[in-house]
């Protein structure tokens, strides 16, 4: 098997095949994963028959391995002296995608079950549905491979020991559970968009993974507005990826200075269309309002021509549904654009209690002070620089402080 | 009189044990449990899956909140329990000292204020009949009631009576639905003792065993289909609104007993 087909399988089919195997394994993640990795090793070694599609063949071999493992487990339970042989009795048969249901929705909801720690949810979603290796997930969150492997292992063990069911939640639980899924996806996107640590400003691969998970959720829940709204939000933000940092990927370019012809206008159009669809399906969610804000930026030909009144109005609307310090901070900045920096500073001081220990607060404060030509801007930048976790953001702030 | 013997042992230390030592530990518990049942003193008992499989359930403003944990900052964690029926407190301490993890760990001995019993044959009319266990309820969970005991001092007797009525209603409902296995209301944490054993000698020190903001006030042991159903049951317990309910899966030890 050549590396391209293998890589393609990992990307496209692995999640779907794994989700089906977990269903067959009665919700046992570890058993299903073991069957799949054994099958992959075997197919890598022996190859697949020319007439079978790789995905279908791997699925067939894995299913066989799983049935085998289950048979052996039952035998050990009954303390039988003779263990089942490790060779299968029957020949392998490919399992075509169309022949089995798509169990990825069950997998997605189970990964994001609230009984799992948030960081475990994110790791599991990326590993099982995102198609990332354990090493890649570890790098995404700046921990070592063994640490991430342990985190994944604990999550799977909890699913087994606590008997977290492998199901799509009941309609009555669905809104709460779906929101958890969307939060996990958005967390991954945010980590890729503005890395909390490290040299690079962005991790394109994480944003791409989040988009893929977002697309999957939309495809699996076509009548639900919130997945569409989240995907719209991500597309509209991601559209700016090429303009947001310089060629090296190390230097941050603020929205004001971005070259708008480097924005991906296909993404902006796609985001718009999804947002419209979402709004047709239900009342605006917080995801939809945030997407609408990004859409206003996406339509503006320049920073100066941006309709900040509309943005401020959208933030006011967002605050009604979701009054958090971060939203209040963003609303304050928007107010500053519309009604002047003094008003912005006033509104910003509201959140000093909650966000005074974050670089984001001090950066916003510094920018407003700078606009007013106030000398306190320097101290504010210094504070922001102290608190910044990401090198690119720190250097950006240093440049602003000097300039 | 009944006492709940809570096994407090270090999970971290347990994780460092080899196969042989772990096997020996399980054997020791098997022997202890058998002897306890033979003595006629044994009541409800269970081994619990480690705390990393625990889930915390709270209800605030009618909103349910489910989270992983608790993340035990204490040096020792609850690994299991025995409810024993004895004539004197000293008997309870003697039994506690024989529990394998009394050596190396501690056994928290709490007086039981009130054991929730399933109806037996022609029991009092006020006790609801125990329904048949639902066919899909194949997993046992321990629902630990955690709240700040001080809360009880802040409410009127009428309010306290109302809450106890809610507990009674919950007990009756889960007996009727067949989910109920056992339950108890415990006396105050300050009345508890910690029993430790070393080389055959035992020490008994005054409670509370651990200084925590919330204390264990009681428990329910239930059958459930899966964690989601256990969480739904936990959310109906009054303490979920003022404190929290910790959902711990019961460990299947059928191979050892």
- How many C-beta neighbours within 10 Å does residue A95 have? 22
| Contacts with B79 from chain A: Cβ below 8 Å | none
B249 to chain A, closest Cα gap in Å? 5
Q: Is the pLDDT of residue B126 over 90?
A: no
Residue B121: per-residue pLDDT = 35
Distance CA A130, CA B124 (A): 58
Residues belonging to chain A: 403
Give the one of B53, B225, B231 whose C-beta lies nearest to A161's C-beta. B53
- Closest-approach residue (CA) in chain B for A177: B66
CATH topology of domain B2-249: Alpha-Beta Plaits (3.30.70)
B66 to chain A, closest Cα gap in Å? 6
Give the one of B49, B66, B139 whose C-beta lies nearest to A115's C-beta. B66
Residue A164: per-residue pLDDT = 97
Residue A394: per-residue pLDDT = 87
What is the average pLDDT across B16-37? 93
Q: Give yes or no for A299 touching B (CB within 8 A).
A: no
Mutate to test the interface with B, among A161, A171, A174 (most CBs of B within 10 A): A161
Q: Is B218 left (phi over 0), alpha (psi -120 to 50) or beta?
A: left
Taking alpha carbons only, the member of B108, B7, B11 closest to residue B51 is B11
A185 within domain boundaries: no
* pLDDT top residue among A90 and B87: B87
Distance CA A96, CA A104 (A): 16
* pLDDT top residue among B161 and B254: B161
Residue A9: per-residue pLDDT = 79
Total of domains in chain A: 1
Q: Which positions 171-190 of A are in contact with B (Cβ < 8 Å)?
A: 173, 176
A91 within domain boundaries: yes
- Closest-approach residue (CA) in chain A for B226: A163
Please indicate whether, in this complex, the C-beta atoms of B228 and A117 are within 8 angstroms of each other.
no
User: What tokens were used for B52?
Assistant: 């990393």
| Contacts with B55 from chain A: Cβ below 8 Å | 115, 162
A328 within domain boundaries: no
A263 within domain boundaries: no
Distance CA A87, CA A75 (A): 15
Q: Give yes or no for A82 touching B (CB within 8 A).
A: no
Give the one of A115, A157, A176 whose C-beta lies nearest to B68's C-beta. A115
What is the average pLDDT across B13-29? 90
Q: Give yes or no for B50 touching A (CB within 8 A).
A: yes
Q: Give yes or no for B204 touching A (CB within 8 A).
A: no
Q: Is the pLDDT of residue B73 over 80?
A: no
Q: Which residue is it, tokens 């670089």?
A: A359
* pLDDT top residue among A193 and B231: B231
Please indicate whether, in this complex, the C-beta atoms of B49 and A163 are within 8 angstroms of each other.
no
Which helix (H) or strand (E) covers residue B155, if one does? none
Q: Give yes or no for A120 touching B (CB within 8 A).
A: yes
Please indicate whether, in this complex, the C-beta atoms of A117 and B50 are within 8 angstroms of each other.
no
Q: Give yes or no for A165 touching B (CB within 8 A).
A: yes
ipTM of this complex prediction, to 2 decimal places:
0.91
**Residues of chain A below pLDDT 50:** 81, 86
A177 φ, ψ (degrees, to nearest 5): -70, -40
B197-206 pLDDT, tens digit per residue, is 998 899 999 9
Please indicate whether, in this complex, the C-beta atoms of B227 and A162 are within 8 angstroms of each other.
yes
pTM of the predicted structure, to 2 decimals = 0.86
Distance CA A39, CA A306 (A): 54
Residue A201: per-residue pLDDT = 65
User: Could you please report the per-residue DSSP string of A30-55?
Assistant: HHHHHHHHHHHHHHHHH---TTS-HH
List all residues 6 or more positions away from B138 whose beta carbon is below 8 Å from its beta carbon.
B223, B225
Confidence of residue B120 (pLDDT cuts 50, 70, 90): very low
CB B76 within 8 A of CB B37: no
A10 within domain boundaries: yes
Mutate to test the interface with A, among B67, B68, B141 (most CBs of A within 10 A): B68
What burial letters (b/e) apply to A41-58, b meaning 16+ CB within 10 Å? ebbeeeebeeebebbbbb
CB A236 within 8 A of CB A294: yes
Q: Give yes or no for A161 touching B (CB within 8 A).
A: yes
Residue A81: per-residue pLDDT = 46
B12 to chain A, closest Cα gap in Å? 14
Q: Give yes or no for B66 touching A (CB within 8 A).
A: yes
Which structural domain, as residue segments, surrounds residue A48?
A: 3-99
Percentage of residues in chain A having pLDDT higher than 70: 94
């Amino acid at each position: 098997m050549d590396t391209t087909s293998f890589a393609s399988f990992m990307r496209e089919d692995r999640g779907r095949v794994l989700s089906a195997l977990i269903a067959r394994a009665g919700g046992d993640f570890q058993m299903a994963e073991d069957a799949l990795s054994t099958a992959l090793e075997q197919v890598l070694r022996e190859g697949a028959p020319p007439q079978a599609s790789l995905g279908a063949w791997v699925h067939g071999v894995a299913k066989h391995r799983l049935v085998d493992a289950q048979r052996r487990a039952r035998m050990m339970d009954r303390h039988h002296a003779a263990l089942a042989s490790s060779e299968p009795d029957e020949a392998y048969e490919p399992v075509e995608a169309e022949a089995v249901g798509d169990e990825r929705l069950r997998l997605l909801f189970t990964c994001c079950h609230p009984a799992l720690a948030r960081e475990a949810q994110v790791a599991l979603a990326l590993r099982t549905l995102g198609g990332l290796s354990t090493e890649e997930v570890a790098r995404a969150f700046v921990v070592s491979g063994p640490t991430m492997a342990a985190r994944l292992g604990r999550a799977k063990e909890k699913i087994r020991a606590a008997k977290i069911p492998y199901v799509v939640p009941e309609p009555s639980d669905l809104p709460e559970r779906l929101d958890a899924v969307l939060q996990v996806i958005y967390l991954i996107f945010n980590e890729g968009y503005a890395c909390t640590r490290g040299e690079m400003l962005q991790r394109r691969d994480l944003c791409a993974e989040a988009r893929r998970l977002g697309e999957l959720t939309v495809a699996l829940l076509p009548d639900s507005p919130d997945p569409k709204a989240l995907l719209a939000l991500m597309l509209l933000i991601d559209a700016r990826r090429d303009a947001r940092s310089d060629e090296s990927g190390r230097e941050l370019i603020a929205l004001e200075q971005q070259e708008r012809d480097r924005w991906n206008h296909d993404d902006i159009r796609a985001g718009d269309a999804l947002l419209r669809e979402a709004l047709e399906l239900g009342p605006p969610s917080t995801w939809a309002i945030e997407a609408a804000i990004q859409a206003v930026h996406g339509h503006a030909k320049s920073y100066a021509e941006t309709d900040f009144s509309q943005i401020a109005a959208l933030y006011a609307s967002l605050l009604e549904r979701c009054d958090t310090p971060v939203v209040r901070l963003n609303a304050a900045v928007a107010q500053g654009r519309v009604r002047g920096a003094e008003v912005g500073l006033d509104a910003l001081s509201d959140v000093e209690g909650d966000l005074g220990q974050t670089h984001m607060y001090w950066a916003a404060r510094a920018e407003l002070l700078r606009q007013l030509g106030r000398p306190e801007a320097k101290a504010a930048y210094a504070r922001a620089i102290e608190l910044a976790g990401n090198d690119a953001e720190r250097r950006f702030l240093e440049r602003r402080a000097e300039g | 009189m009944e006492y709940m013997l809570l096994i407090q042992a270090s999970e971290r230390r347990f994780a460092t044990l080899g196969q042989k030592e772990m096997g020996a530990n399980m054997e020791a518990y098997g022997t202890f449990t058998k002897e306890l049942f033979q003595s006629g003193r044994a009541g409800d008992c269970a081994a619990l899956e480690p705390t990393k499989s625990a889930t915390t359930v709270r209800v605030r403003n009618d909103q349910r909140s489910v989270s992983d944990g608790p993340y035990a900052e204490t040096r020792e964690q609850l690994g299991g329990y025995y409810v024993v029926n004895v004539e004197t407190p000293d008997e309870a301490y003697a039994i506690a000292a024989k529990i394998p993890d009394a050596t190396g760990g501690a056994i928290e001995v709490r007086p039981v204020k009130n054991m929730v019993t399933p109806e037996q044959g022609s029991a009092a009319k006020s006790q609801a009949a125990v329904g048949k266990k639902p066919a899909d309820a194949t997993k046992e969970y321990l629902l630990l009631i955690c709240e700040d005991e001080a809360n009880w001092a802040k409410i009127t007797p009428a309010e306290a009576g109302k809450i106890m009525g809610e507990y009674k209603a919950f007990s009756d409902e889960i007996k009727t639905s067949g989910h109920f296995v056992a339950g108890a209301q415990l006396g105050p944490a300050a009345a508890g003792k910690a029993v430790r054993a070393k080389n055959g000698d035992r020490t008994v020190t005054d409670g509370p065993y651990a200084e925590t903001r919330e204390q264990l006030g009681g428990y329910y042991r239930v059958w459930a289909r899966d964690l989601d159903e256990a969480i739904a049951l936990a959310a109906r317990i009054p303490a979920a609104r003022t404190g929290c309910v910790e959902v711990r899966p019961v460990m299947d030890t059928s191979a050892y007993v």
